Chains A and B, each alone.
Chain A
Amino acid sequence: MKKIFFSLILMMATMQLFAQDNGVEMADSLRSNGKIYVVVICIVIILVGLLAYLFSIDKRLKKIEKENHIEK
């Protein structure tokens, strides 16, 4: 009886492993509460900064083109 009970407990323990969907580890829970949003915000700030910088270069270039009378 003790043996059967013990093996049943062991089987119950392994059931948890099968419960996870296809067993591939992904950062699903990490995305919700693992502060991944902080990383997203940082990346977006960097991208916005660099793109704004590109726009400012573009603007300056337009000014220089005007001074040099370069046709569009």
Chain B
Amino acid sequence: MHKTWWKILGSVLVIYTAIAGLLLGVPHLAILNETIRNLYFHVPMWFAMIVLFSISVFYSVKSLSSKNEIDDIKAVESVNAGIIFGVLGLITGAIWAKYTWGQFWSFDPKQNFAAISILLYFAYLILRNAIDEEQKRAKISAIYNIFAFPMMVVLLFVLPRLKDSLHPGNGGNPGFNSYDLDSRMRMVFYPACLGWILIGYWVYTIRFRIRNIENKQQHN
């Protein structure tokens, strides 16, 4: 966590995405036009969020067995960092939708469910704040988190596929994989995802370390 190489790797990948994402060639598609480049910026936000929420649920399970306060702090701080990426994903998605689907919010199933899954994690944070006793808070919020995570996965990856969603790969729509995401786009898309996941993880570690220091000072 304290090593520097992966922070530099994440920074380089994100900067590479900004340059290659704007300058390299993309498939010529109607309606999407140049906005197809948003794939490099909007989608990695969600990948970063999901990775951070996965870290959170891992530490929630761990904190239930270890009863260690550090694990509980790790769980909450990764949710805090993940929510930033989720909100950014919602906003960028809404802007993209305005110029391709016609409205900022067209009540597309995936849009709605993404908003609901963010709300699930807001509820997690509110639940934590409502409980004063530390041991109880750690236990109850860890159990809530273990239930919230599969809910989020179902809301984002299962339910939109069963309904008519405007998102690619949902409701009979072909995915970006099938013909849009050609080899040129893969060259930018995968580094973009990895880069933003690393940046997200970095933000989480910074939040965790600050919280850890605050925690130590409170106990002293």
Given contacts A24-B28, A40-B18, A47-B18, contact A70 B212 (CB under 8 A): yes
Of the candidates A22, A44, A72, the one whose C-beta lies within 8 Å of that of B19 is A44
Which of B29-37, B100-108, B171-179 makes up part of the contact surface? B29-37
Q: A interface, how many residues as a size bin?
A: 20 to 34
The docked-state distance in angstroms from the alpha carbon of A68 to that of B214 is 10
**Chain A residue with Cβ nearest B10:** A51
B22 lies within 8 A of A61 (CB): no
A40 lies within 8 A of B2 (CB): no
Q: What distance in Å separates the Cβ of A46 from its nearest Cβ neighbour in chain B?
A: 9
Given contacts A37-B23, A47-B14, A55-B7, 12 further A-B contacts (CB under 8 A): A21-B28, A22-B28, A25-B33, A36-B23, A39-B22, A44-B15, A54-B202, A54-B206, A61-B206, A64-B213, A68-B213, A70-B216
Q: Mark A43-70, 1 if CB is under 8 A from B, else 0.
A: 1100110010011011001101100101
Docked complex: B1-58 residues within 8 A CB-CB of A: 1-2, 7, 11, 14-15, 18-19, 22-23, 26, 28-30, 33-34
Q: Does B186 contact A (CB under 8 A)?
A: no
